Amino acid sequence: MSDLRDLYQEVIFDHNRHPRNFGPLPGANRHADGFNALCGDKLSLNLKVEDGIIQEARFEGSGCAISTASASLMTEALKGRRETEVAELFEGFHHMVKGEPYTVEMGKLAVLAGVSEFPARVKCATLAWHTLNAALHQADQPVSTE
Amino acid sequence: MFDPHLWRRQFPILERKVHRKPLVYLDNAATTQKPLAVLDAERYYFEHFNANIHRGVHALSQEASEAFEGAREKVRAFLGAAHVEEIIFTRGATEAINLVAQTWGRTHLEAGDEILISAMEHHANIVPWQMLCEMTGARLKVIPMDERGVLLMDRVDQLLTTRTRLVGITLVSNALGTVNPVAEIIRKAHAAGARVLVDGAQAVAHVAVDVAALGCDFFVFSGHKLYGPTGIGVLYGKKELLTAMPPYQGGGDMILQVTFEKTTYNQIPYKFEAGTPHISGAIGLGAAIDFVQSVGLENIAAHEDWLLQEATERARRVNGLRIIGTAPGKASILSFVLEGIHPHDIGTILDSEGVAIRSGHHCAMPVMDFFSLPATARASFALYNTLEEVESLFRAIERVQKLFLG
């Protein structure tokens, strides 16, 4: 195992203790619930999308440090992005946390690259992203990382 | 004097290192490690008399059949069952409960009937009954518990009605460690005319069981939580009940005669053992029972109780640690949460120190809901655990808090 500090970086602790964009989002027009059956993490994601651009993204729920920080960082990264960019970003993120090559610019999301050394925790990092995927495709069923 | 260090030599895996640290295996409630006696028994079978059972006239098949049936007899004696044919081999406790639900349940329950379980059941003792309720129109009712994880026994009388057909109750809670008063529940249930299935999966490695003295109608457990192999488990059922029940799965070994018009089913236990069973697993389970009896279940229980007490005392001194499940007389399970730190993070950091525990809902989501928790961290002890390992656990917990809370 790599150093725990590769996984638990200060930025991650910070976002875990003080998650950004946490709480309800009045006027949201995209929503999905995510659930990690492995550990019981629950996540509720709300988006406000106008003219194909994500104006607001907020989440609620409870989870481990990795899933909370990942959701917090994701909502920050989403604001102002075009809906059509999201699939590419998710793909890049997924490759990054699995330790596979990726070409997308990750910005602050790169602090989660250390997850790739902890395969048991990949699902924690991707829960928010799976939920985002469901919200943008307006899936009726809660998504699961299983 | 019981010395876990002596018995540790029987478990080669305990010598390995994890992340360059000595393994501290405290996930015994999920599965126990296997002693040499079990590994050797399985290997000996494969090296000397591997054959299919109950059919061949050749020497190997007869030897394999004798070993398989010998294991059944060991299980009978271990559980205190009156008859060896009351012991059915299954894949595990889960399959054993499903077997009862789908055979006895489907022929004995109808719309309006009731099944009573407890608030601390494993999903394996909830979901099969929910499926049965869906099929039959029966209703599932639940014995509540208090904040310590103790069943509210004064509620049992009112929950047992003339419509209660079955009570499903765990002997030891896998999430909390509570040892339930099953003898009392069985008496009350029988007085109300209900049958009782006892889930012994978490109990058999810690608590001596005598099904005849208990009087339970069904008792189930898994081999792998008793130092035996995975994929093998046991259903005990009273002879008259098993005899009257329809078969579970159809196939070879469970028949006497097959024509395309009609099949005559075999007698118990074979009626419930369709297909080639897990022969090596049953032999391994027999060896595990011999091993546990050579150590002595009372010695094991006393040692684990001592470790649990030592661990509980240390846990009480940790700031921000809350023990989940504080029933008196618990069995070898310390479930806990740390303020501000998710159990999943605890699990990862403990693992980096070589300490293996479980973090999650322990397949008991209703228990987590009761305590309004998404999950807990759970350390569970076995006969080979030592006081030094308890100390390693708490050093690692200290490291978790230092890393997270600064």
- A60 pLDDT more than 90: yes
Top pLDDT among B108 and B255 is at: B108
Let me know whether B348 and B248 are in one domain.
Answer: no
CATH of the domain at B165: 3.40.640.10
Co-location of B216 and B277 in the same domain = yes
Domain count, chain B: 2
Q: Which of B294, B324, B342 is the last residue of a domain?
A: B294
B179 lies in the same domain as B274: yes
Q: Are B227 and B287 contained in the same domain?
A: yes
How far is Cα of residue A135 from the mean position of the Cα atoms in its chain? 12
Q: Which fold has domain A4-136?
A: Sufe protein. Chain: A (3.90.1010)
Mean pLDDT of B248-262: 87
Mean pLDDT, range B123-137, rounded to an integer? 98
Chain A partners of B335 at a C-beta cutoff of 8 Å? none
CA dihedral (B222, B225, B229, B231) positive or negative? positive
Q: Are residues B101 and B222 in the same domain?
A: yes
Is the CB of A121 less than 8 angstroms away from the CB of B348?
Answer: yes
Percent of chain B that is helix, strand, coil (3-state, to 5) = 45, 20, 35
| pLDDT of amino acid B263 | 86
To test the contact with chain A by mutation, choose from B27, B344, B372 the residue with the greatest count of A C-beta atoms within 10 A, namely: B344
> Are B394 and B279 in the same domain?
no
Statement: residue B49 has pLDDT above 80:
yes
Question: Is the predicted ipTM greater than 0.90, yes or no?
Answer: no
Give the pLDDT score at A144. Answer: 66
- pLDDT at residue A2 in the model: 61
Interface residues of B toward A, Cβ cutoff 8 Å, are 19, 340-345, 348-349, 351-352, 359-361, 365, 368, 374-375, 403-404
**B90 and B193 together in one domain:** yes
Last residue of a domain, one of B294, B311, B344: B294
Q: What is the CATH number of the domain that holds B312?
A: 3.90.1150.10
Domain identity same for B137 and B256: yes
**Nearest residue, CB atoms, A8 vs list B365, B374, B403:** B403
Residue type at position B113: D
Is the pTM here over 0.90, yes or no? yes
Same domain for B288 and B309? Answer: no
Contact B341/A65, CB-based, under 8 Å? yes
How is chain A split into domains, by residue range?
4-136
Q: Which residue is it, tokens 């050797």? A: B40
Query: Which among A4, A42, A68 has CB closest to B352?
Result: A4
A139 or A92, greater pLDDT: A92
Please say if the pLDDT value at position A39 is more than 60.
Answer: yes
Domain range enclosing B219: 39-294
Of the candidates A121, A12, A122, the one whose C-alpha atom is nearest the C-alpha of residue A65 is A12
**Do B276 and B189 reside in the same domain of the chain?**
yes
Tokens for B65, please give them.
């059949």
- Rounded to an integer, the average pLDDT of B65-88 is 98
Q: What tens digit of pLDDT does each residue of B324-367 get?
A: 999 999 999 999 999 999 999 999 999 999 999 999 888 999 99
User: With pLDDT > 70 as the criterion, what percentage of chain B qualifies?
Assistant: 100
- For residue B332, which of B302, B362, B299 has the smallest C-alpha distance? B302
Judgement on whether residues B266 and B176 belong to the same structural domain of the protein: yes
